[in-house]
Amino acid sequence: MKNQQKYVDRYRIALFLICFGSLCFSSCKSKDERPEKNHDASKPVVLTSFYPQEGGARDKILLDGENFGTDPGKIKVYFNNAKASVISSSGERIYAIVPRLPGANPRISVVVGEDSVTYNDSFAYHTQAQVSTVTGNGKMNFKPGTLSEAEVYGKYLELDAEGNIFMSWRDGGNPATFGVARINEQQNIVTPLIESEATGRILFANGLTVDRKTGMLTAAHESTKEVIFTFDPREAWYPRQRNVKFSAADLSSIVDADRYKNFITFCPYDGHLYTRYRDGRVAKINPETMEAKIVYKGPYGSQYGQAINPAKPWLLYITLHSNANPTEFRQGISVLDLRDPNGTGGFKRLNAPGGSGFRDGPLADALFNYPKDIKFDNSGNMFVADYGNHCIRMVSADNIVTTVAGQPGKPGYKDGGPVESLFNQPWGVAVNEQGDIYIADWSNARIRKLVIE
């Protein structure tokens, strides 16, 4: 019945568009025959109704009212904070396209000139998701080759603007190897950038970061205070060791037993790199000169994830392990404002304390179970590899947590829609420019792709 109604809705919209287009064609042969109707700034914009009342990304929607004007370039339509594409306007009816991921039950606002008006009713937004497998066959090993032949055991992922997926891995295989690899769907290839056996490893990499303007890939050597590696696409990503330059005081302040820096993140807000040591110290690094300084000392604990929000690029988000101290930061998502890290805000936990649980809803009430890697899309939506719950969670730009793929508490391997898809201890995530999410599905030894609309 629901599907039947959906087809009826689509038919009615299509019929309107055909009639609307025919009317425009016949009545707009010349500007003299149909002059443009401008928005009258002395009168309010009035909203009456919209149709359909529910749908998903890229669906067509018709917004009825008065005093819109006929210039679509002067009309803005928002679903919560997500901007819709405005195709045309008759003055009393706007034809628009529903935007991607506007948040739960979005309210539709129309902005014309100085007027901003919101419909009384909310729009029922339906998330559509599909999970597929990019590469890997379930063998916990690394073997380069085509996507169908390759074997992967990835933990963390990152992407550049050209569609390259970068993966760090450790362990697996016989002998076990450590390394960083490049995966490219269009080129149908998985190839190592750096690889060595565990006993003689050159780089112990976890989290990776890319400056998407230059394509520079950076990895922090986990077990040394100063060493990072860079991979420049202009040099075919040849690995180069670079040593961070701390003052003697800053270097000695990092506790030797807690020198582990699992992550490094490029911050477009100030053009610097940020890393964090297990003792809680956060370092700011100039990527050109490698000069660095400790800018903050926060809670103790190993890290699972780190990311910058591109919508607010001065905010550094961090997920901490179950060994964090104070205990209130364990298994949680926290944030640090890089504009003033030692200010009154400091290091703040965002979700509910407790850990080892599952609860969707407002971020302040949400629970995760060993949340690992985190990444953002360009709209400010955060995606979380919820390792212990075997699913992928999304924290919307307005701080609402939903499960977008996988079945909480049920490990397995299955592609498909959000209800039937299964993961087994997903560890890493990365998001491309189009908003597609890549997942290092660790215990399934595969790289998966989640497309959400």
Q: State what percent of residues in the chain have pLDDT above 90.
A: 81
- What's at 398, amino acid-wise? D
Q: State what percent of residues in the chain have pLDDT above 70.
A: 92
Residue 393, pLDDT score: 96
Nearest to 90 by CA among 34, 42, 49, 50: 34
Cα torsion 338, 341, 343, 347 to 10°: value is: 110
Residue 35, pLDDT score: 59
Query: Which pLDDT band holds residue 31 (cuts at 50, 70, 90)?
Result: very low
Residue 29, pLDDT score: 43
Residue 9 pLDDT more than 70?
Answer: no
Residue 18, pLDDT score: 43
Query: Which pLDDT band holds residue 24 (cuts at 50, 70, 90)?
Result: very low
Output the six-digit token pair for 423.
């993961």
Residue 283, pLDDT score: 98
pLDDT tens digits, residue range 287-336? 999 999 999 999 999 999 999 999 999 999 999 999 999 999 999 999 99
Residue 1 pLDDT more than 60?
Answer: no
- What's at 54, amino acid-wise? E
Per the CB < 8 A criterion, the answer to whether 155 and 169 are in contact is yes
| DSSP code for 412 | -
Residue 124 pLDDT more than 90?
Answer: yes
In whole angstroms, what is the distance from residue 157 CA to residue 221 CA? Answer: 16
19-28, 52-61, 159-168, 417-426: least confidently modelled range: 19-28
In whole angstroms, what is the distance from residue 115 CA to residue 389 CA? Answer: 45
Backbone angles phi, psi at 227, to 5 degrees: -85, 130
pLDDT tens digits, residue range 79-113? 998 899 999 999 999 999 999 888 778 999 999 99
Per the CB < 8 A criterion, the answer to whether 339 and 382 are in contact is no
pLDDT tens digits, residue range 40-57? 999 999 999 999 999 998
Q: Coil, strand or helix: which one is 252?
A: helix
Residue 105, pLDDT score: 87
Nearest to 285 by CA among 381, 384, 216, 333: 216
Nearest to 283 by CA among 305, 256, 250: 250
**Residue where the block lists tokens 């803005």:** 76
Burial code (b: 16+ CB inside 10 Å, e: under 16) for 23-47 equals: eeeeeeeeeeeeeeeebeeeeebeb
Nearest to 112 by CA among 161, 150, 63: 63
In whole angstroms, what is the distance from residue 422 CA to residue 410 CA? Answer: 7
Residue 34 pLDDT more than 90?
Answer: no
Burial class (CB in 10 A: 0-12, 13-18, 19+), 91: middle
Output the six-digit token pair for 305.
């994830």
CA angle 114-117-119, nearest 5°?
165
> Is 0.85 topped by the overall pTM?
no
Nearest to 109 by CA among 126, 84, 91: 84
Peptide bond into 341 cis (omega under 30): no
In whole angstroms, what is the distance from residue 339 CA to residue 29 CA? Answer: 56
Per the CB < 8 A criterion, the answer to whether 310 and 293 are in contact is no
Residue 7, pLDDT score: 42
pLDDT tens digits, residue range 411-433? 999 999 888 999 999 999 999 98
The residue that leads in pLDDT, 190 or 18, is 190
Residue 4, pLDDT score: 45
Residue 20 pLDDT more than 60?
Answer: no
Average pLDDT over residues 239-247: 97
Average pLDDT over residues 194-216: 92
Residue 343, pLDDT score: 86
| DSSP code for 98 | P
The residue that leads in pLDDT, 58 or 96, is 96
Domains of the chain: 46-125 (2.60.40.10), 129-452 (2.120.10.30)
Residue 183's H or E segment, with its range, is strand 177-184
In whole angstroms, what is the distance from residue 97 CA to residue 84 CA? Answer: 6
pLDDT tens digits, residue range 342-397? 987 789 999 998 778 999 999 999 999 999 999 999 989 999 999 999 999 999 98
Query: Which pLDDT band holds residue 200 (cuts at 50, 70, 90)?
Result: confident
Residue 154, pLDDT score: 96
